[in-house]
């Protein structure tokens, strides 16, 4: 069977990195609005870990969108949520079969000894 279609743009992006064009609705990497962080699905996990201190696990993915895709085990859709150590990622925009943007929901730090 066929798993998908690889375009010339996909091949070039694998070599030189993401190419912003008129079909990419989100050409930014990160957006902070009213205290809510949204990251581009194409953001590399190296940058996600170093710039935003998100502990996304290692695996066969190199982008935040790739992690969401692998964690769900299917093509993500807007509204899907994926847990990561410390919070959840919510898919907020898709661009065809690509995760265009994810909203970061960090869990509040809780005490190990709740008070009664």
Residue-wise pLDDT tens digits, 5-29:
888 877 777 887 766 554 554 445 6
Greater confidence, 114 or 44?
A: 44
Query: What domains, with CATH codes, occur in the chain?
Result: 24-106 (3.30.465.10)
Q: How far apart are CA 114 and CA 99, in angstroms?
A: 38
**Tally of helices (H runs) and strands (E runs) in the chain:** 3, 5
pTM of the model: 0.66
Q: How confident is the model at residue 64 (pLDDT cuts 50, 70, 90)?
A: very high
Q: What is the pLDDT of residue 116?
A: 52
Angle between helices 45-52 and 64-72 (to 10 degrees): 110
Distance CA 36, CA 104 (A): 7
User: Smallest Cα–Cα separation from 24: which of 15, 14, 16, 13?
Assistant: 13
């Amino acid at each position: 069977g066929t798993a998908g279609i690889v375009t010339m743009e996909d091949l070039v992006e694998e070599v030189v990195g993401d190419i912003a064009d008129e079909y990419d609705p989100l050409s930014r990497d990160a957006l902070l609005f009213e205290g809510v962080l949204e990251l581009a699905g194409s953001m590399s996990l190296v940058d996600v870990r170093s710039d935003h201190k998100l502990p996304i696990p290692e695996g066969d993915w190199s982008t935040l969108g790739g992690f969401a895709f692998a964690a769900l085990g299917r093509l993500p859709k807007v509204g899907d949520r994926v847990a990561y150590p410390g919070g959840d990622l919510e898919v907020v925009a898709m661009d065809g079969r690509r995760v265009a943007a994810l909203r970061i929901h960090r869990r509040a730090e809780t005490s190990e000894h709740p008070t009664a």
